[in-house]
């Protein structure tokens, strides 16, 4: 479950990192499949509201949660984001799924207290809940302006294989 970064905003459906990951999973882990339940603009509240239906419909063994960026960009209270992510982790666990939490960072213009707290909440939650954790989805492309679309928020098609390759080492151990 994710937001526009995982939904492939501004890209052809086959170009996004989740679609590329699905191809890799099919090649390297026969019998496993990938369902992209990402929605552009999604907040953690939206994800928390949708997860039960997605779990019932797709019956996953692993759930990757890449949400929170839109909460942060809107300046939503960190405790609200944390509570929504906790609810999603609990729902996934209740459905007997393993969880990969994928973190995000914010631009510094939100102030050091908010940006630091935002980044820390993912690490703290992953540690407390003992779920697999990837600290920052955009790590391999964040410093490369040429990796982004004109909006400077969404990675372009050329960046997507790097994101797939960044997520794979965190996801692969869960596929057993």
Tell me if residue 151 is catalytic.
yes
Tell me if residue 154 is catalytic.
yes
Catalytic residue among 6, 19, 154, 166: 154
| CATH architecture of the domain with residue range 4-174 | 3-Layer(aba) Sandwich (3.40)
Helix 78-94 vs helix 44-58: crossing angle, to nearest 10: 10
Residue pLDDT tens, the chain, 176 long: 999 999 999 999 999 999 999 999 999 999 999 999 999 999 999 999 999 999 999 999 999 999 999 999 999 999 999 999 999 999 999 999 999 999 999 998 999 999 999 999 999 999 999 999 999 999 999 999 999 999 999 999 999 999 999 999 999 999 98
Q: d(Cα 126, Cα 29) in Å, to the nearest integer?
A: 25
Render the burial of 132-152: b for 16+ CB within 10 Å, e for the rest. Answer: bbbeebbebbeeeeebbeeee
Catalytic residue among 113, 145, 146, 151: 151
Catalytic residue among 4, 6, 19, 38: 4
pLDDT at position 12, please?
98
What token pair was written down for 82?
């944390």
pTM over 0.95: yes
């Amino acid at each position: 479950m994710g937001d526009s970064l995982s939904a492939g905003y501004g890209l052809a459906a086959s170009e996004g990192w989740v679609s590329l990951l699905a191809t890799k999973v099919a090649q390297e882990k026969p019998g496993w499949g990938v369902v992209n339940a990402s929605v552009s603009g999604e907040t953690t509240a939206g994800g928390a509201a949708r997860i039960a239906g997605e779990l019932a419909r797709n019956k996953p063994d692993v759930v990757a949660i890449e949400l929170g960026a839109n909460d942060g960009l809107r300046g939503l209270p960190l405790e609200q984001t944390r509570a929504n992510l906790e609810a999603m982790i609990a729902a996934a666990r209740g459905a007997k799924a393993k969880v990969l939490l994928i973190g995000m960072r914010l631009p510094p213009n939100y102030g050091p207290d908010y940006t630091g707290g935002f980044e820390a909440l993912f690490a703290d939650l992953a540690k407390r809940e003992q779920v697999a954790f990837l600290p920052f989805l955009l790590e391999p492309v964040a410093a490369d302006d040429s990796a982004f679309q004109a909006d400077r928020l969404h990675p372009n098609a050329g960046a997507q294989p790097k994101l797939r390759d960044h997520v794979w080492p965190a996801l692969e151990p869960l596929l057993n």
